[in-house]
Structure 1
């Protein structure tokens, strides 16, 4: 009987094949001698030497005689071919072996062609053939006899080119079984009643005597080769043994008698001999063809087992003894002595699983699925069902193991919900970690996993999760957010750094950890673009806490000189410390950079900046990269320098750093001109702001700097901006300087007079009066505006009046009118001025009279000359030509202006003599004519005269000028 560890099932469906009498002789034990099957047919050998070919339905296809008078003792189809080997025997003659070509029928008879016939020799000893085996390539045939001898036949059986026979074993025990094991070395396994032997018949070791593998033999029909493993299986009453070339292998304990064995894939089938039954029947008992209950006096048991899984796939007891079992077309056929044929069809895999599920044999189902190499999806279904079964029994840990195995084809939400309901947090962590490992985790799964870590305060697992090497298996943003929310900013920073999320690293350092120096150190070690983004994002905060570094960073970046910092790195070995984030630093950090390096790898460091190793003493140590801060800078990387104005907002509430930034940018030579306007204007504003701040200890110094900016001619300050800022800050010097630069002298003077700063007004008058004469009339009015002002400026009034008179800025009458409006001015102020003015007027009148007399005399002289020319003769005394300067010779042309010319020098012909004009006097005459013509034209356009009167300050003088031009000469106009 089977041991208790074997599980019994019914994995095979059994049905009887009805063999009709019309299909030939029955299959009762006495009607045939042997049976075998190939991939196409079933071969049945008869006692009379005939052979029947049956199809899968056991219908006779063909019958022919293979031996004349001997019975067919053995049939061996050659695998994967159409050849068939038959062996016949009778004790009066030597056994006869024939090879048939089933696909080559004889033309006359239609029976298969016999390729060769060989008489098997046994030393002329007449003993029955007890065993028979062929090689798959039909190169050798082995025949075993009941007297203990084994004959090997070699040759070309197919082409009948001759064979050789050799007795390889001549023993005392009858041969019970022969099996070939082909390969590089072909071996023959020999079973006797007392031993199991192996013999090399080709290849290395050929010719050596048979080697005994076991001192226990086997019965006839109880040895077979396993086609899956190529091992030899031997069935004995206590177990099923396997043999290899090296000896006995694994065995499977299965008690009970066995008289025949066969295989179907991994299944082993055997028949147990009849057992006498009492009145009570053994279960299960299946009876076929019994006439009544009294016939059940002897039974035969048929069993199919799977040794690997320790499964009894089928077991039943038959009332009739079994004569033959064989397998073909993945089906097992069983023939009883009374001629009945039964087909054993294996159930489908899903049907077998259902049988296992019904008895809760999930482990067995898993092993069976793995053995049959079913697809992973089907295996995962089994894992899931097993997990559900264990969960229902309260075995949560083992259930989770199954769920993890089925994770690829399981809806995670259902599993998560189960363990959340029972608060099995540790199991839930295992499942969520596996989801991430398989890349099936969503952001919600990552959030839940990190929450579980936080709930259990399992920092070690949290770090292991975020530090796992290889490809990212979770949602990075979610993991970072959960670390920050759960109070693990160090881990969030490391995770962000590992995946080059530099912006998030800076966020954590500043917003969560408030480690401003470390954040600044990290920013300075980023590439320019990333450094700028993060440096500007937190510029105000960094200026508050690390103002020097942040200001210098902004100066370097906005002047185009920023270089990424890179420090020296040395490796150190330190003993393994307790797990903890901060404990990974090898020494106490003394600088922000070392602090940062102990927290996370710097941007230029590998993320695997710590690794475990073993030193020479076998002690486990950590090899870490220790940062030694240096002034080393990386190679310059070009970047687009932003406009300085974009940084102004960052300096709110940080005026000192702002001024430092502005001054540094201005000092840089490559700043664009349009940016300089912004820089200088803002710097001027900041100087005034500092001067007017609550801390006025250095106010004068700031005002001096502001004034120096305005005084520089090369500084591109906007005048209107400076005026506005100076006005708002009460910075009069700035207002004055701008107005002076813009030529707004009158505004400067008015500013002094508005402030009643007489001394300043006098200085402004002296400084700007020569360039702006109109200041003198304004000064005269201001100096006489009040008694106090007059007292301060009395000595200056005479100078003012002198300038007014010299520059004719005001007529004397206007001066008198201006002073008459003042209540403090007296005649003593202008006595000297009036005296000089009257004297000058008198001198002018006298001079004009003299000019009139001179002009009248000249006019009379001219009139006399004209009269003389028109009335009397003219004498010419010139001896040289006025054109060429040579002595005159005829023909000569004389002009009344007393100029004489050679006629040839004038280039005139006789017809043009009346129109000739003196070349010497012609230009002057043309000018006079043009002037006269202009006077005539002006007289014809009185609107010009009126316009000139309207625009003139001295209308009388303008009218006199136009009279002189003859505008009123009516007689001339009438010509």
Structure 2
């Protein structure tokens, strides 16, 4: 057996016990046995007395236990009030008594429950060992002659006890110990063997079984109550035994006279060696200079599990008894002195180990004791610091990881940042996240480390770890984006529902615009709208078709989140893959990934469940069309397509309809204006014209006029003015724009209904030589129309043409000659009429004179009223009309001819009006100032009789 290296420490504080004067005598030579229990010390003496001693080592109680013999063995049963004493003298059989310490007799002593004389084959041999089970149902007594007697029965109630010698041998019995469990086993040690005997349970009655053919000395066997093993001390080592045989052994050479189990320690008393002792390898730990000289006895406390010596000292006086009580170990020497051995606190022991850099032993010690994990972590941290100082960074990190729960992370991180041990740093940061102790800074640092090493696999495993999130989400996404790990950032954002951030990554970082559009199309309406408007211009620049299509679908109220990845036909910088990899993370029902082909038309009978699910999705508030207009800046083609789609909707609100038609009209004109090819320009202008044709167009007149004017779209302005009846404005718009051909067209179209246009045209044609040249023969046509309709007098025409000196007399020679000829003809005609009117007037005047001066002959034969033959009485009028008197309604001085009365009344009314209006000079002047044809006004007033010659007025 190899010798184990034992480290020696001073983990025990030794102090002498000051005994009171009244109790010091019992620890002298009269003491024959000691036992402990119930926080008391029981001392048996050679005269048969039992003294109960308190923790202050004062005698609490004494009683006479045995009349004869010395009390050689005692035991207090299981911290109860039962005490077993065994006294012997060689002349009689040993006597065993059981005492009830809580019951007193009349004399004040405890009551003896039972008394048994122990049988032995040969009386002259003393008792060498004693053991009892916890319930006192069996007691074993070993003798120096090699026999063991078992006493069975109810010793507490004294209901009879049976004795039997269960073992006999040639070797003296050196120790007895009982072990209870499924069976009760009695361990027997002799000077040459170790045996077990079942005294209760299965196997009872069978002979003792030999565990080992090597025994031990007297006092060299004890029971480790905490571990349950039997400890045997031999010269070469310490051995452990169980029911099945020998267990672990611990090499510790040297003679031994006593072994005891104290807490986690084994207490050994080692007498001086027979030789000089210089060859003992443990001499340096167990011996002192005085021991080398005088060969003194040593007392040692061993921790057999951790292989160290907790205490070792040379005893000045030989050991007499060892006992444990009140949490300490006590040693009684032969000179009656007692020494207390108290274990140091854990912290004190750890400090001792720290001083010697024995951190592994400190850790093992702490684990064995089972201290708080936080206290253990402090040891790991110290050990890690020690290893770090030595440059063993990997092992130090292992210790820091074990102490991670109560270690300030910055202390460790700073160390490894300084030494640039990035792999160790990653390991520590990962553990921080696993323990949920990572902060935003820790996540940032870890991701930076991954990025520095370009370790994509570790980064993936970190962010895709199952279970709850172990890091700050926003920080992780931000760091992945900064490091260029866009797929990982998108994965995190998608997995945790940060859809806005996914779109940001696809567009701003990955530049995967088509995938961004597809991703937006898979979101809920509100989220999709937010992202669409945020990146509309960017997406329209790179994916105009798909983005415009999304706009049309959304603003027409037909938007539904897609459940399939649709392959875009637009070119991309990178292949489409992100949406496919993220599709499974989207919280959409019936989600699946694939490339969509054009599906066949479905009837209600063939519609799938997925289609029905989509149809039942909740509606969303359709935004006003104008909110999308700004997004289409620099994208007129897509904008026009968007507008044309929306204007076809039947349920448009009035305000939306106005916005759409007005904007579409503007876009048509703007596109036409930018076309160089006349045919293309005319095509777009035709589209614009169709929007403003007809009645009840949504575009206001002012907007049409403004937009048409800005785009030089004359047809638009013309069409609106036509609809509003503003023909003069149409013509003037052409003249103001110097558009002679347009003015001519307008004149030909609107002139018949608006004669004033010919007057305006005359002025316009005569405004400049260029315009006159462009007008050509149209001037003659205008002059002819003015002349035919009498719109201007020749003098007014001459005045209008003479303003700019553009039209020469030769240019209007024909007009002037025609007018002169016409005027001459009118003068001739007027003169002829005047002559005729004068002749008629003279004739009328003669008739009046004849009627007033000459008799009148009436020759009418019939009545002008009834047509009958005239008979008396008859009435004749000067107008040569005759009537029966009876045919006239009224006949007086003012009677009038019924035939001529209406004509006469009309003439009188005309004459009266002329008289009444003879003084309305202001009206004449006003009309004259407002009219360009002043001669016409004069003629009209003369015709109405308002103006008449002075003689007439008089």
Partner of 1:931: none
Asked whether 1:534 is paired with 2:531, we answer: yes
Question: Which residue among 700, 712, 731 is the counterpart of 2:713?
Answer: 731
Deviation of 1:277 (Å): 7.7
Asked whether 1:262 is paired with 2:260, we answer: yes
Distance in 2 between the 1:532 and 1:311 partners? 74
Task: Report if the CA contact (8 A) 1:178-1:190 is conserved.
Answer: yes
Partner of 1:174: 172
Question: Which residue among 304, 308, 314 is the counterpart of 1:307?
Answer: 304
TM-score norm. by structure 1 comes to 0.73
Return closer, same or farther for 1:818/1:162 CA change in 2, 3 Å cut-off.
farther
Partner of 1:871: none
Asked whether 1:454 is paired with 2:433, we answer: no
Asked whether 1:56 is paired with 2:55, we answer: yes
Deviation of 1:748 (Å): 2.3
Distance in 1 between the 2:351 and 2:445 partners? 36
Partner of 2:840: none
Q: Which moved more, 1:698-707 or 1:750-759?
A: 750-759
Asked whether 1:392 is paired with 2:389, we answer: yes
Question: Which residue among 668, 674, 688 is the counterpart of 2:669?
Answer: 688
Distance in 1 between the 2:213 and 2:154 partners? 35
Partner of 1:238: 236
Task: Report if the CA contact (8 A) 1:303-1:316 is conserved.
Answer: yes
Task: Report if the CA contact (8 A) 1:597-1:627 is conserved.
Answer: no
Say which SS state the counterpart of residue 602 (structure 1) adopts.
helix
Deviation of 1:177 (Å): 2.1
Q: Which moved more, 1:174-183 or 1:68-77?
A: 174-183
Distance in 2 between the 1:91 and 1:277 partners? 36
Partner of 2:43: 44
Question: Which residue among 125, 128, 131 is the counterpart of 1:133?
Answer: 131
Task: Report if the CA contact (8 A) 1:797-1:829 is conserved.
Answer: no
Deviation of 1:267 (Å): 1.0
Say which SS state the counterpart of residue 33 (structure 1) adopts.
strand
Asked whether 1:77 is paired with 2:76, we answer: yes
Task: Report if the CA contact (8 A) 1:525-1:602 is conserved.
Answer: no
Partner of 2:5: 5
Asked whether 1:543 is paired with 2:540, we answer: yes
Partner of 1:445: 442
Partner of 1:118: 116
Q: Structure 1 unaligned runs (5+)?
A: 570-588, 608-624, 805-811, 843-945, 964-975
Partner of 1:27: 27
Say which SS state the counterpart of residue 306 (structure 2) adopts.
coil
Say which SS state the counterpart of residue 57 (structure 1) adopts.
coil
Question: Which residue among 633, 641, 648 is the counterpart of 1:660?
Answer: 641
Partner of 1:228: 226
Question: Which residue among 423, 426, 436 is the counterpart of 1:426?
Answer: 423
Distance in 2 between the 1:508 and 1:232 partners? 71
Distance in 2 between the 1:301 and 1:294 partners? 8
Return closer, same or farther for 1:294/1:262 CA change in 2, 3 Å cut-off.
closer
Q: Structure 2 unaligned runs (5+)?
A: 599-609, 767-771, 802-811, 835-921, 932-936, 947-954
Asked whether 1:792 is paired with 2:778, we answer: yes
Distance in 2 between the 1:817 and 1:171 partners? 173
Distance in 1 between the 2:549 and 2:718 partners? 36
Partner of 1:866: none
Deviation of 1:190 (Å): 2.6
Distance in 1 between the 2:700 and 2:657 partners? 11
Return closer, same or farther for 1:640/1:59 CA change in 2, 3 Å cut-off.
same
Task: Report if the CA contact (8 A) 1:644-1:679 is conserved.
Answer: yes
Deviation of 1:763 (Å): 6.8
Deviation of 1:343 (Å): 0.6
Q: What are the Cα deviations for residues 539-587 of structure 1, in whole angstroms up to 9, with x where unaligned?
A: 2222222222111112122222222222389xxxxxxxxxxxxxxxxxx
Distance in 2 between the 1:287 and 1:7 partners? 16
Deviation of 1:331 (Å): 0.6
Return closer, same or farther for 1:754/1:260 CA change in 2, 3 Å cut-off.
same
Deviation of 1:232 (Å): 1.9
Partner of 1:95: 94
Deviation of 1:126 (Å): 6.1
Question: Which residue among 730, 751, 760 is the counterpart of 2:733?
Answer: 751
Deviation of 1:590 (Å): 13
Deviation of 1:297 (Å): 3.8
Return closer, same or farther for 1:755/1:533 CA change in 2, 3 Å cut-off.
closer
Q: How does 1:359-758 map to 2 (within 5 A)?
A: 359-567=356-564, 595-597=575-577, 601-605=581-585, 627=594, 629=596, 635=614, 636-694=617-675, 696=677, 698-713=680-695, 715-754=697-736
Distance in 1 between the 2:145 and 2:703 partners? 130
Q: Of the two, which has the highest radius of gyration? A: 2
Return closer, same or farther for 1:117/1:629 CA change in 2, 3 Å cut-off.
farther
Return closer, same or farther for 1:352/1:677 CA change in 2, 3 Å cut-off.
same
Distance in 2 between the 1:241 and 1:15 partners? 30
Partner of 2:604: none
Deviation of 1:739 (Å): 2.5
Return closer, same or farther for 1:781/1:114 CA change in 2, 3 Å cut-off.
same
Return closer, same or farther for 1:308/1:596 CA change in 2, 3 Å cut-off.
farther
Deviation of 1:817 (Å): 9.3
Return closer, same or farther for 1:704/1:638 CA change in 2, 3 Å cut-off.
same
Distance in 2 between the 1:566 and 1:269 partners? 78
Return closer, same or farther for 1:186/1:592 CA change in 2, 3 Å cut-off.
farther
Distance in 1 between the 2:311 and 2:759 partners? 138
TM-score norm. by structure 2 comes to 0.75
Distance in 1 between the 2:707 and 2:474 partners? 49
Deviation of 1:164 (Å): 4.2
Q: What are the Cα deviations for residues 331-375 of structure 1, in whole angstroms up to 9, with x where unaligned?
A: 110111222211101111111111111111111111111111222
Q: What are the Cα deviations for residues 60-112 of structure 1, in whole angstroms up to 9, with x where unaligned?
A: 22111111213212111122322222222233433322222223333x33222
Equivalent pairs counted in the alignment come to 806
